[in-house]
Amino acid sequence: MRQVRRGPAAPPHGPGVPPQPSYVDGRGYGDPAGTPGADPGYDSGYNTGQVYGSPGGRGPAGTGTGAGRPAPNWGRRIKWTAVTVVAVLLVTSVATYFWADSKLRREVDLSKVIDRPSGGEGTNYLIVGSDSREGMSAAEKKQLHTGSAEGKRTDSMMILHVGDNGDTLISLPRDSDVELPTFVGSESGKTYKGTGRHIKLNAAYATDGPELLVRTIEFNTGLRIDHYVEIGFAGFANIVDAVGGVDITIDKGFKDKYSGADFKAGKQTLNGEQALAFVRTRHAFAASDLERTKNQQKFLAALAHQVATPSTVLNPFKFYPVMGAGLDSLIVDKDMGLWDLGSMFFAMKGVNGGDGTSMNMPISGSSGGNLVWDKAKVKTLVDQLKNDEKVTVSGN
């Protein structure tokens, strides 16, 4: 049979593919005696796995001999991870700020307070616990032993001074004897002339609310109040429950049918209902209101410590309910900002943690059932606060 000699064929895949040897007589793999024109040193690649000039068997795009994919750039990955984390934290912080700021109830207008004393160094907060039953059902009033009285009265009042030379928390007994000054009605705008009449301090709040309470305290002390913060019964209990209860050590057990208190001595965890009973009780003590103010300060120290623990602050499922319960419960003045509120909280935490001074207003005696302030000590105390000096006066 006649043999047909085949000439070189065109590259089947275009340029870049080396000439293929002929396979006449089974030869052509680099055999000099093979197909005329074949490169005697040519290796098709089938022996090494390198096909079509692709080193390492990686196809036309391969480079190098057996090289893997490039090593990951860890520095760049870490950089972008850090940028992402910072961006998420920034967005979350901004969103949290505006959410929290929107929940503040700025209802007290201190611009309505007349004849105010001059300001001093530092910042003075008036912190009020009211017996407001706002939003409470009949069942909740019964459970919390609040009664059903209409209106609002003050169960506790404290001045917190925040300054550079130590913070000071001063409890003002609700039965303090004070003079009711001339004031302008917060709603009516009518001027009520002072007659020198003396009342219990909490009666000022009952008469015309926060503005008159601030006016009365400023008139009787000479200390300017910069910010006002108030919390009611239900709000206080909600905060305690939101934080999961507060641990406190009670030195001596006591009972009080009016507040519902029934405590044994020792360390225990109080829920919202128990906490409210603890800070409201006064009938069980010989010193009545003075002993109650000490318990209020003691509990606030424990509450502030509990709120500021990492298990609360770093846990969003606990932090936001606690913050929400607190902000929903507060009534503040129109100029109060979140930074002011934060400063107040951390100052109170520090004071009750031993980093400042905690005391009652100095008392010299009583008159007609009212507690009379020691005027000389009060003057010294106010002068030290106005000048932001370390407080040396002791309270009861």
The arithmetic mean of pLDDT across residues 208-231, rounded, is: 95
Q: Is the pTM of this model over 0.85?
A: no
DSSP secondary structure string for all residues of 156-172: EEEEEEE-TT--EEEE-
CA-closest candidate to residue 349, choices 162, 189, 220, 219: 162
Q: What are the tens digits of pLDDT across the range 257-312?
A: 888 889 999 999 999 989 988 988 888 887 777 888 888 888 888 888 888 788 78
Tell me which of 355 and 201 has the higher pLDDT.
201
Rounded distance, CA 317 to CA 315, Å? 5
| 296 membership: H or E segment, kind and range | helix 289-307
Strand partners of residue 161 = 124, 168
Tell me which of 164 and 90 has the higher pLDDT.
164
DSSP secondary structure string for all residues of 211-224: HHHHHHHHHHH-PP
The arithmetic mean of pLDDT across residues 48-69, rounded, is: 52
Does residue 30 carry a pLDDT above 50? no
Q: Which residues of 265-302 are buried (b: 16+ CB within 10 A; e: fewer)?
A: eeeeebebbbbbbbbbbbebbeebbbbbbbbbbbbbbb
